[in-house]
Chain A
Amino acid sequence: DMKVTQMPRYLIKRMGENVLLECGQDMSHETMYWYRQDPGLGLQLIYISYDVDSNSEGDIPKGYRVSRKKREHFSLILDSAKTNQTSVYFCASSLGGSQNTLYFGAGTRLSVL
């Protein structure tokens, strides 16, 4: 069963705290992504990873960093979280190549107070 798993599903943090969002996939997909979704702005790409230790900035990378040490696992890190990083974060994965479909995780709702 093809699956992208995100942990945690809900998270509340205080401004200035560090945040770790984790994502796993069981499809051996080379490529993984982090998006955030905000009302009126839609889904915006934060980072893309082509494989282990091969990461590239998306459209809104400021304030975020990522880590991919295993093909099946991709982490999003917020160092010193800000209130404007309150959002729903989605992880996705796909095979390499432009034609390939992205499969999304269930999302993590992050509130930064």
Chain B
Amino acid sequence: AQKVTQTQTSISVVEKTTVTMDCVYETRDSSYFLFWYKQTASGEIVFLIRQDSYKKENATVGHYSLNFQKPKSSIGLIITATQIEDSAVYFCAMRGNNYAQGLTFGLGTRVSVFP
């Protein structure tokens, strides 16, 4: 079984700066997939970015990027040039080789972006 831990419950940042949030995971699978999702104030859950464990390069999509440190079982999310609209709860999730297990989610980090 997988386990995903997000230790930061909340982070506050000033608009246009960079925010970094942590996520560590546990799995026995040799190959796995890591995801970040965002939940907005309306409750909508939106996919942001994915990292495949066999890829050494950190994934980047728009102003989201990942810091994948495989030896530490860590997958951090970095948001650059934050905007007020980035205020949300961010979830880290993973899925192992066993497709039948669905995604396992962390408890989330609430990010508040202030002007």
Contact = CB atoms under 8 A, between A and B. Distances in A.
Contacts of A98: 32-33, 95-99
Interface residues of A, number: 22
Interface stretch (B15-23, B39-47, B77-85): B39-47
A41 to B, nearest CB: 8
Contacts of A99: 33, 50, 52, 95
Interface in A58-101: 58, 88, 90, 96-99, 101
A45 interface: yes
B62 to A, nearest CB: 15
A48 B102 contact: yes
Contact of B43 (A33, A48, A88, A97): A88
B107 interface: yes
A83 to B, nearest CB: 21
14 contacts: A45-B101, A45-B104, A48-B102, A56-B100, A58-B102, A90-B45, A98-B33, A98-B96, A101-B47, A102-B103, A103-B47, A104-B37, A106-B43, A107-B43
B35 interface: yes
Secondary structure at the B interface, as helix, strand, loop or mixed, is mixed
Given A42-B108, A101-B50, A103-B47, 4 more contacts: A43-B103, A45-B101, A102-B103, A106-B42
Contacts of B90: none
A12 to B, nearest CB: 17
B52 A40 contact: no
A79 B50 CA distance: 37
B30 to A, nearest CB: 12
Interface string A24-61: 00000000010000001111010010100000101000
